[in-house]
């Protein structure tokens, strides 16, 4: 039993140490504290991601309409898809959504492809 | 000197060249691109010309830049990504030096034109697509198929993923361009307040201190933005290259 108590105590200590360290490493808290400028940068970043999705969706739809003569349905459908892609982009850039593929990035070190 | 804040982005032809009805003129934008390349190249060449085991100041700046980009690329794309190091390093240094050159008064800012940043972004995405297909063939298309999606939703999700992928060069270029454009316009507008306020006699000169302080603060911020946007551009390039090297899961 003494061993489990010991483990429990160490776990609590680790928790305390981590929570003491967390405010320093937590990027989101820091950016919200520094206020306006970081907020403006974030706003520009997120809006560019969102708008890019819509623009590409609308552009694709318009091109399909022109090539296939399906006006206005291509534009309607791809504009909606563009909205979805824009939201997806924005969520991805805030890190609330998995990146392309769901593998841990980098550091795989199997240097097979060094051609 | 023109007082409107947009005037600084005017393109003027220095050497008009026209080949086959197309305009290939050497403009002030091209001149500053050449200046950017020459400045960056000359700095790197001269700072590493007399290499010492104990680096001089200039040499250590060059080495720090190398280490910075190399670590960034290694973190984002793994050790296989290092074959793109020259590409990412050139992009980072070009954008950084172009942004910093634009901070000189009366200088032209190359990266404040969307066609320039868009060309850089297309270069990145083109590299990703070409390398992805060369390396993985059609397996590169796995990038657009997330795992664990029910079959009914798959066409919809793939369409959204493709649009999301295609929107990358646009958001990449718009971000750099908008930051530089907005920053330079703000700086110009606040600096313009100083001169127009000080025309109102002694009270105006007293009031002009506020926008003057703001201009000084904004100049500092602009240097930060110039570095930060070059960094963001390079980091995103690394992340996109990572998709080309390891598509799928």
Count the neighbouring beta carbons within 10 Å of the beta carbon of residue A4.
8
Percent of chain B with pLDDT over 90: 45
Distances in whole angstroms, Cα of residue B41 to Cα of each of A9, B35, B47, B183: 58, 10, 10, 27
What's the average model confidence in pLDDT over B79-98? 93
Residues of chain A positioned with their CB less than 8 A from the CB of B164: 53, 85, 88-89, 92
Interface test with B, best of A48, A62, A103 (most B CBs within 10 A): A48
Distance between alpha carbon B93 and the CA centroid of its chain, in Å? 9
B234 vs B222: CA distance, rounded Å: 18
pLDDT (tens digit, 9 = 90+) per residue, B148-191?
Answer: 788 888 888 899 989 999 999 999 999 899 889 989 999 999 88
The C-alpha of B13 sits at a distance from chain A's nearest C-alpha, in angstroms, of: 31
Instruction: Give pTM, 2 decimals.
Output: 0.79
Given a cut of 50, is residue B65 above it in pLDDT?
yes
pLDDT (tens digit, 9 = 90+) per residue, A27-72?
Answer: 444 444 445 666 777 787 888 889 999 999 999 999 999 999 888 8
Residues of chain A positioned with their CB less than 8 A from the CB of B83: 114-115
Structure confidence at residue A21 (pLDDT): 66
**Total H helices, total E strands in chain A:** 4, 0
Contact yes or no for B77 and A106 at CB 8 A: yes
Structure confidence at residue A110 (pLDDT): 37
Distance between alpha carbon B225 and the CA centroid of its chain, in Å? 10
Contact yes or no for B156 and A81 at CB 8 A: yes
Contact yes or no for B163 and A82 at CB 8 A: yes
Structure confidence at residue A103 (pLDDT): 42
ipTM for the whole complex: 0.73
Close Cβ partners of B61 (under 8 Å, ≥ 6 residues apart): B47
Helix (H) or strand (E) run with residue B40 in it? helix B28-47
Percent of chain B with pLDDT over 70: 98
DSSP B78-133: TGGGGGGHHHHHHHHHHHHHHHHHTTSTT---GGGSHHHHHHHHHHHHHHHHHHHH
Chain A residue whose CA is closest to B161: A85
CB A54 within 8 A of CB A61: no
* Residue whose structure tokens are 């399906």: A70
Given a cut of 90, is residue A102 above it in pLDDT?
no
Region of poorest pLDDT, from B48-52, B126-130, B210-214, B217-221: B48-52
Count A/B contacts: CB-CB distance under 8 Å. Answer: 106
Given a cut of 60, is residue A104 above it in pLDDT?
no
Structure confidence at residue B78 (pLDDT): 85
CB A77 within 8 A of CB A84: no
The C-alpha of A29 sits at a distance from chain B's nearest C-alpha, in angstroms, of: 20
Region of poorest pLDDT, from A54-68, A84-98, B113-127: A84-98
Structure confidence at residue B207 (pLDDT): 84
What's the average model confidence in pLDDT over B126-151? 87
What's the average model confidence in pLDDT over B216-231? 92
What's the mean pLDDT when you consider all of chain B? 89
DSSP class of residue A111 equals G
Close Cβ partners of B168 (under 8 Å, ≥ 6 residues apart): A52, B121, B125, B236, B240
Structure confidence at residue A106 (pLDDT): 37
Closest CA to B239 of A84, A110, A92, A51: A92
What is the token pair recorded at A16? 């305390």
Count the neighbouring beta carbons within 10 Å of the beta carbon of residue B78.
20
Residues of chain B positioned with their CB less than 8 A from the CB of A86: 167
Structure confidence at residue A99 (pLDDT): 65
- Helices B28-47 and B85-101 pack at an angle, to 10 degrees, of 120
CA dihedral A6, A10, A15, A18 (to 10 degrees): 180
A59 vs A14: CA distance, rounded Å: 53
């Amino acid at each position: 039993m003494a061993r489990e108590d010991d483990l429990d105590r160490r776990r609590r200590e680790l928790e305390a140490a981590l929570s003491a360290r967390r405010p320093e490493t937590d990027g989101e808290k820091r950016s919200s504290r520094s206020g306006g400028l970081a907020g403006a940068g974030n706003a520009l970043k997120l809006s560019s991601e969102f708008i890019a999705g819509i623009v590409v969706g609308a552009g694709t739809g318009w091109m399909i309409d022109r090539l296939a003569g399906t006006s206005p349905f291509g534009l309607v459908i791809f504009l909606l898809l563009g909205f979805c892609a824009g939201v997806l982009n924005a969520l991805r850039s805030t890190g609330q959504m998995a990146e392309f593929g769901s593998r841990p990035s980098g550091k795989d070190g199997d240097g097979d492809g060094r051609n | 000197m023109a007082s409107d804040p947009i005037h600084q982005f005017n393109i003027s032809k220095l050497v008009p060249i026209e080949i086959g009805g197309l305009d290939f003129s050497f403009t002030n934008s091209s001149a500053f691109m050449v200046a950017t390349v020459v400045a960056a190249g000359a700095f790197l060449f001269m700072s590493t010309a007399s290499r010492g085991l104990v680096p001089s100041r200039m040499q250590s700046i060059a080495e720090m830049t190398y280490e910075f980009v190399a670590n960034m690329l290694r973190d984002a794309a793994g050790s296989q990504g290092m074959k793109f190091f020259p590409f990412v390093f050139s992009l980072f240094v070009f954008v950084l030096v172009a942004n910093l050159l634009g901070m000189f008064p009366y200088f032209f800012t190359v990266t404040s034109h969307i066609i320039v940043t868009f060309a850089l972004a297309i270069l990145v995405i083109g590299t990703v697509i070409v390398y992805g297909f060369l390396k993985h063939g059609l397996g590169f298309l796995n990038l657009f198929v997330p795992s664990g999606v029910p079959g009914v939703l798959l066409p919809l999700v793939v369409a959204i993923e493709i649009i999301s992928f295609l929107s990358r060069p646009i958001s990449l270029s718009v971000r750099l361009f908008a930051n530089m454009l907005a920053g330079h316009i703000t700086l110009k507008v606040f600096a313009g307040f100083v001169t127009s306020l000080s025309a109102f006699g002694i009270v105006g000169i007293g009031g002009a201190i506020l926008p003057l302080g703001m201009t000084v603060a904004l100049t500092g911020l602009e240097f930060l933005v110039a570095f930060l946007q070059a960094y963001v551009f390079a980091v995103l390039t690394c992340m996109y290259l990572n998709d080309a090297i390891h598509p799928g899961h």
